[in-house]
Structure 1
Amino acid sequence: MSERDDEEREFDLRWAEGATHKEPSARARMLAARWKENPPGPVPFRAEPEHRGAAGRHRSWVSTVLVLGCVLAVILLLGYADVGPY
């Protein structure tokens, strides 16, 4: 590719980017046509959490105890192990 071709291509890109009217993408046109007949309903920013019974609360408590138990076990294991140059 010559330097002249690069200059012409750069000119074309500047000309295209400077256009006052830009055609929407194919996806944007498709969604606009679909929503014209069947507009989407409102969507909350954050969906409502699903109703969790006692099982949901139980799982979080058990996982907290499990993590703290593992940390305590590692501390005790390191404390009883003869680690270090002492």
Structure 2
Amino acid sequence: MTENDNWEREFDHRWANSAEHKEPSARARMLAARWKENPPNPAPFRADPDPAPRRSSWASTAMVFGCVIAVMVLIGLVQFGSAH
């Protein structure tokens, strides 16, 4: 046998993936043993601990209009300064 044959036999991923029984990882075994005696409390998926207070729609609208007006004034000042 050549060295290449030994390498292919040692790292044959197709053979390993086709195994009927796959052993769980060490972390999975540890968590299963821990949860068997003390199961975790149910928790929602990616729950937000403290939801942010909701802003009213008029405040958001005023903020958008204020930003648009500020940009228009800034563009006007730049154009006025470059005209002279």
Please state how far the C-alpha of 1:22 moved relative to its aligned partner: 0.6
Aligned AA for 2:16? A
Unaligned ranges ≥5, structure 2: none
Q: Report what 1:9 is aligned to.
A: 10
Aligned residue pairs, count: 77
Shift of 1:9: 2.9
* TM-score (norm: length of structure 1): 0.60
Counting aligned pairs with the same residue, the percent is 52
Task: Give the TM-score of the pair, scaled to structure 2.
Answer: 0.61
Alpha-carbon distance in 1 for matches of 2:51, 2:77: 45
Aligned to 1:39: 39
Look up the equivalent residue of 1:82 and give its one-letter code. Answer: Q
Runs in 1 of length 4+ with deviation above 3 angstroms?
Answer: 45-52, 63-68
Return the alpha-carbon distance in structure 1 between the equivalents of residues 19 and 6 of structure 2: 21
Q: In structure 1, how many angstroms separate the alpha carbons of the residues matched to 2:48 and 2:9?
A: 54
Cα displacement (A) at 1:3? 2.7
